[in-house]
Amino acid sequence: MKLLNTKSQFNASGDHAVLLVHGLSSSPLEMRFLARALARSGFATYAPVFDGYSAGSPERRMEQWLAAAVGRFDELSQRYRRVSVCGLSIGATLALALVKQRPSAQAVILLSVTLAYDGWAIPWYQFLLGLAYYTPMRGRWRYREESPFGLKNEALRAKIARAMQSNAISEIGPSTISLSALHEASRLAKSVRRFLGDIKTDCLTIHAIDDETASANNARFVSAHIGASFVRSIYLDDSYHMIISDNEREIVAGEVSLFLRDSEAAEGGVAGEGTPIVSKALARRLRQIAKPGG
């Protein structure tokens, strides 16, 4: 696959801007489908490159990631009446850190939020990486993405597998992630867990129940501990981690747009948590998982 443009992407329509935060060591390319869908719904979208966080920029500490994200948010705030933040994976974790510093955000959208790498495809040695960071491996070892690449869609998975063989980055993320970047992501997630209760921004979480990278427990933890009064939780049953590229990407885009309009109408959270949105089949699976030995 030919490598596509991975630079910042901006659409200026509407008076409500959405800052799109891609995943760890990836690029704005990840957010392209969602950005186009939101633009068709009348939102301005900005999917920037973040210094120290995005692919192609020198790696930096998570404090620099946050400073870069806050800077992009402030730029949008000078031009638009409302600004929301939408992040994918570790980008969702970064979005939470951002709205903690900028509580003026209209809403925060968390797609496959990752506070812990605890999905079913995470390698058994993952727990050792924290120790490995303090060894000579720190500058050499890189985690290599492998099948299913966050995708339940087999045709798209095969396409990405071919791209990963010849490119450092694909339309759904990088082929490898450094140990240093993973360490900083862990630091970021740890800090976010501590202040979730202080975040009052309207919040939508969308997560696949079969997420192979970050289990649905990540989304449940956020929904249970965030301090917002307007919270909506949606669980998907036909996707893996990359929900904005996988089988249910149209559903994701539609629910994000709907929540942003509902947040505008609520203006501060008139609505409460309510019941998480699930299909009947998924509800049965959730009950089975909750049973001992399920």
Place of tokens 């070892």: 141
Looking at the predicted structure, is the pLDDT value of residue 3 above 50?
no
Please check whether residue 87 lies inside any domain of the structure: yes
pLDDT recorded at residue 143: 55
pLDDT recorded at residue 12: 72
Please check whether residue 2 lies inside any domain of the structure: no
Please check whether residue 122 lies inside any domain of the structure: no
Looking at the predicted structure, is the pLDDT value of residue 272 above 60?
no
- Computed over every residue of the chain, the mean pLDDT equals 82
* Of 238, 252, 250, 245, the residue nearest 208 (C-alpha): 238
Instruction: pLDDT band for 4, please (50, 70, 90 cuts).
Output: very low
CA 170 to chain centre: 17
pTM of the model: 0.83
pLDDT recorded at residue 280: 47
Please check whether residue 136 lies inside any domain of the structure: yes
- Domain limits for position 78: 9-117+127-290
Calpha distance 186→249 (Å, rounded):
27
pLDDT (tens digit per residue) in 186-201: 999 999 999 999 999 9
pLDDT recorded at residue 147: 61
Please check whether residue 98 lies inside any domain of the structure: yes
Three-state secondary structure string covering 123-157 = CHHHHHHHHHCCCHHHHCCEEECCCCCCCCCHHHH
Please check whether residue 1 lies inside any domain of the structure: no
Question: What Cα–Cα distance (Å) separates residue 136 from each residue in 84, 123, 190?
Answer: 41, 21, 24
Based on the structure, what is the number of domains in the chain? Answer: 1
Instruction: pLDDT band for 268, please (50, 70, 90 cuts).
Output: very low
Instruction: pLDDT band for 291, please (50, 70, 90 cuts).
Output: low
pLDDT (tens digit per residue) in 205-253: 999 999 999 999 999 999 999 999 999 999 999 999 999 999 999 999 9
Looking at the predicted structure, is the pLDDT value of residue 136 above 70?
no
pLDDT (tens digit per residue) in 12-68: 778 999 999 999 988 899 999 999 999 999 999 999 999 899 887 788 999 999 999
Please check whether residue 3 lies inside any domain of the structure: no
Instruction: pLDDT band for 5, please (50, 70, 90 cuts).
Output: very low
Return the CATH number at 259.
Answer: 3.40.50.1820
Average pLDDT over residues 93-102: 98
**What percentage of the chain exceeds 90 in pLDDT?**
59
Average pLDDT over residues 151-170: 71
Please check whether residue 268 lies inside any domain of the structure: yes
